[in-house]
A and B are shown apart, each in its own frame.
Chain A
Amino acid sequence: MADPTPPTPPTSTTPPATDAAGGSAADGALTRSTAVALAARLRRGEVSAREVVDAHLDRIAALDGVVADGPVWAAKAAEELTADDVHAYLAVTADAARAHADDVDRRRAAGEELGPLAGVPLALKDVLTMRGAPTTCGSRMLEDWVPPYDATVTRRLRDADVVVLGKTNMDEYAMGSSTENSAYGPTRNPWDLDRVPGGSSGGSAAAVAGLLAPLAIGTDTGGSIRQPAALTGLVGAKPTYGTVSRYGLVAFASSLDQAGPFARTVEDAAQLQALIQGHDPRDSTSVREEVPDLLAHLRDGIDGLRIGVVTELQGEGYEPGIAATFEASLERFERLGATIVEVSLPHAPYGLPAYYLIAPSEASSNLARFDGVRYGLRVDAPTAEEMNAATRAAGFGPEVKRRIMIGTHALSSGYYDAYYLQASKVRTLIARDFAAAFETADVLVSPTSPSVSFGLGTKTADPIAMYLNDVATVPASLAGNPALSLPAGLAEAPDAPGTQLPVGLQLMAPLLRDDLMYRVAWAFEQDLGFDPVPTGPRAVEVAR
């Protein structure tokens, strides 16, 4: 009996053309692909998980500034990094990623039912624990610490067969807005390698924007996912507080910290958030309330929805390019059938001052555990107290010390009522403001960040200038509401005429209505047609 159809080889046997980034043209297509498109090709058997992982590892080896050697690739030492190294990763778990990809391929070949993103690679912020690799939090304090357990987020990703490529750079203990507070050298913005990617999740943002991973996990305490997403042309979301487990997330400010997705499209981000959310008995702040399906109504459009423009989150302090892009975004919403309404969050101007009492206070308490006894660095001294103090002096960088000092002072005898308690009451008033605003609007919008990406070193001397990056993102953090940043276009850098950089638009939704936030974002994204691949004279190399 003759079979008329010859078997098709699984992959092309033609040798691929080499491109400028040191990979092949075929690899270029794999690293440019969205997560959802990759997952579809993997399901159809057009490409293997191993090929997808190898394409990303090749690009990381060529562009990120790692020593591509051994089972875990380390980033080059800070002083050896060049101005062309993205430095998104602190460690690349190459062997483990290849082994996981091979395992996914084997199980797929055996007919096993796999998750929606099975075989898709991901970059994990180095504040979430993962067995088998260091978790440094961007700090010297934890330089050699290898955690004995997986964070719940890490475990859920593994259960879903998302392949972790490595751990990403960050501001030390997630304190910062530029990733310049990393003890291991700053990450560079793939759109302009002389500029910052934002922070604190700058490594995760740069990994996805630089096509060094299709997906990443970051954490957001006051804007640490949304602001870097804005500065690197990505979608980045802070889920409703309590819906993503904090187990294994090294705590900065426990009442605010929340892990969330980075991606190059809204759908990719929604898919990723869907994988990591859900109640976890290991986190006592985890909520049992469920978020509606993030994907079921993603494509429903926004005809008839009310978009609330927050009076207090615009105007003075926002760059002209940011303001103009925001105005154009409102017109786009109207064209899509939505109604623009003006809303007020009267206490929002007190959000940033409240945040800079609450977050440092909680940090000063959380970081007390780094005492040279159970993990991390120890500097020897004759007594335990001297050892604690010497260890902490050597292990923490300047911004972490500043925040511990602010927090310790704010919580110290006689100051608690005026500082932490008062700030926590302001938080209640901001949450009430949000609840009232959502009576007249379905979602709220604002610029994500008052500025486009700024030059490395330009804001490090003035802590408050750096803190102001979070002015628009902090209110939703304090209220606990879900919020997302997505690209709204490009605008000219005020300090470099002709340089076009990404601008983010922030969407804020009622508690647990992350689904609505994604639905609005998807409609906007489809209409805008933003290309997330970096361009510009100092952009990271991309095969075209």
Chain B
Amino acid sequence: MALSEAEVRHVARLARLALTDDEVAALAPQLSKILEYAEQVGEVAAGDDVEPTVHPFALANVVRADERRDGLTRDEVLAGAPATEADRFAVPRIVAEEG
């Protein structure tokens, strides 16, 4: 399918990508071409008798033993963060203030 610039802006919003107008203009035909290529998968007859594959081995419900073990320390985890405050990740306002 061909993606319009409006659709590109919609997907960019979902993906949290602040694209410039130039990027949107360039991406619309590029993404359309890639999707058109990828849509060849639709030519394959694959009904309900064909299970999707996500792993070549049938693994199910892989869980570890429910026991305490050491993880990273708080300082190790926070060391890579761009902004911290009071031993937490600091982020800008998420919820708009109520009027």
Contact = CB atoms under 8 A, between A and B. Distances in A.
Contacts of A405: 8, 11-12, 15, 17, 27, 31
Nearest to A424: B52
A147 B44 CA distance: 43
A134 to B, nearest CB: 10
Interface in B1-51: 3, 7-8, 11-20, 23, 27, 30-31, 33-35, 37-44, 46, 50-51
Contact of B34 (A149, A371, A378, A402): A402
A116 interface: no
A425 interface: yes
Interface in B30-80: 30-31, 33-35, 37-44, 46, 50-57, 59, 62, 64, 72, 76-77, 79-80
Given A148-B80, A376-B80, A353 B41 contact: yes
B99 interface: no
Interface stretch (A19-27, A88-96, A388-396): A388-396
A404 B17 contact: yes
A392 B18 contact: yes
Given A284-B62, A425-B52, A383 B40 contact: no
Given A373-B91, A401-B19, 14 more contacts: A146-B80, A148-B76, A241-B55, A356-B37, A377-B82, A393-B17, A405-B12, A405-B15, A409-B3, A422-B41, A428-B46, A428-B53, A464-B37, A511-B56
Contacts of A147: 80
Contacts of B43: 350
A406 interface: yes
Interface residues of B, number: 54
A375 B39 CA distance: 35
B27 A402 contact: yes
A464 B43 CA distance: 19
Contacts of A380: 92
Interface residues of A, number: 73
Nearest to B47: A425
Nearest to A431: B53
A406 B44 CA distance: 20
Contacts of A337: none
Q: Among the interface residues B3, B13, B92, which one has the most CB atoms of the partner chain A within 10 A? A: B92
Residue with the highest number of chain A CB atoms closer than 10 Å, among B11, B20, B51, B59: B11
Contacts of B57: 242, 287, 289, 480, 511
Nearest to A357: B38
A368 B46 CA distance: 30
Contact of A242 (B3, B37, B56, B81): B56
Contacts of A289: 57
Contact of A255 (B12, B50, B54, B96): B54
Given A353-B41, A426-B44, A385 B16 contact: yes
A479 interface: yes
A408 to B, nearest CB: 4
A441 B37 CA distance: 31
A285 B44 contact: no
Given A389-B18, A402-B34, A374 B80 contact: yes
Contact of B44 (A242, A347, A378): A347
Interface in A494-535: 511
Interface string A339-380: 000000001001001101100000010001001111111101
B39 A241 contact: no
A375 B53 CA distance: 32
B22 to A, nearest CB: 11
A464 B92 CA distance: 39
Given A149-B72, A431-B53, A285 B15 contact: no
Contact of B59 (A287, A375, A381): A287
Nearest to B52: A424
Contacts of A409: 3, 7, 11, 31, 35
B86 interface: no
A429 to B, nearest CB: 6
A423 interface: yes
A242 B18 CA distance: 36
A384 B94 contact: yes
A114 to B, nearest CB: 28
Contacts of A406: 31, 34-35, 38
Nearest to B65: A281
Nearest to B63: A284
A350 B54 contact: no
Given A255-B54, A375-B81, A431-B56, A384 B46 contact: no
A412 interface: yes
A377 B80 CA distance: 10
Nearest to A147: B80
B4 to A, nearest CB: 12
Contacts of A480: 55-57
Nearest to A144: B80
B17 to A, nearest CB: 5
B69 to A, nearest CB: 10
15 contacts: A241-B56, A353-B40, A368-B16, A371-B16, A374-B89, A378-B83, A382-B93, A384-B92, A389-B17, A402-B30, A405-B8, A405-B17, A419-B41, A427-B52, A479-B56
